[in-house]
């Protein structure tokens, strides 16, 4: 079963619109971490945020905000007043650290965001 689901394959918005990227995860661990990464056309994945499973407080960083809800196993990402530079593929990821097996990272399939000027 897929651990991280990003149901939105592609999204297009007009500049200055708000957009929310959905992420649903699945885990049986009580301790886990959730991440968002941005992959611009240049290729490298850029780290945006990490949350641990014990901190459900929503976070805002400039135009970016994240909504973590354990009740629905979701970790959604909202970009406010989108800009052309936000065009990229965004990946949600789950990291588990079960004892004696080493770190396990699971990435979603990504959401390709296009911001139209």
Calpha distance 77→113 (Å, rounded): 12
Which of 11, 13, 24, 45 is the binder for another protein (CB under 8 A)? 45
**Does residue 57 touch another protein according to CB under 8 A?**
no
How many angstroms separate the Cα of 7 from the Cα of each of 25, 26, 37? 11, 14, 16
85: left (phi over 0), alpha (psi -120 to 50) or beta: alpha
CB-wise, 17 or 26, nearer to another protein? Answer: 26
94-11-46-109 Cα dihedral, nearest 10 degrees = 40
**Does residue 11 touch another protein according to CB under 8 A?**
no
Q: State the minimum distance, in angstroms, from the CB of residue 78 to another protein.
A: 21
Footprint of another protein on 60-99 (CB under 8 A): 91, 95-97
CB-wise, 17 or 55, nearer to another protein? Answer: 55
From 78, 73, 86, 75, select the one nearest 115 (Cα to Cα): 86
Which residues contribute to the site for another protein (CB under 8 A)?
2, 4, 9, 31-33, 35, 37, 42-47, 50, 52, 91, 95-97, 100-110
């Amino acid at each position: 079963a897929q651990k991280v689901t990003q149901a939105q394959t592609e999204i297009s918005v007009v500049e200055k619109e708000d957009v929310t990227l959905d992420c649903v995860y699945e885990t049986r661990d009580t301790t886990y971490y959730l991440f968002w990464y941005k992959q611009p056309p240049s290729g490298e994945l850029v780290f945006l945020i990490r949350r641990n499973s014990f901190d459900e407080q929503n976070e805002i960083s400039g135009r970016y905000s994240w909504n973590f809800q354990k009740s629905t196993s979701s970790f959604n990402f909202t970009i406010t007043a989108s800009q052309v530079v936000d065009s990229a593929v965004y990946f949600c990821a789950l990291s588990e650290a079960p004892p004696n097996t080493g770190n396990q990272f699971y990435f979603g399939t990504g959401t390709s965001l296009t911001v139209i000027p």
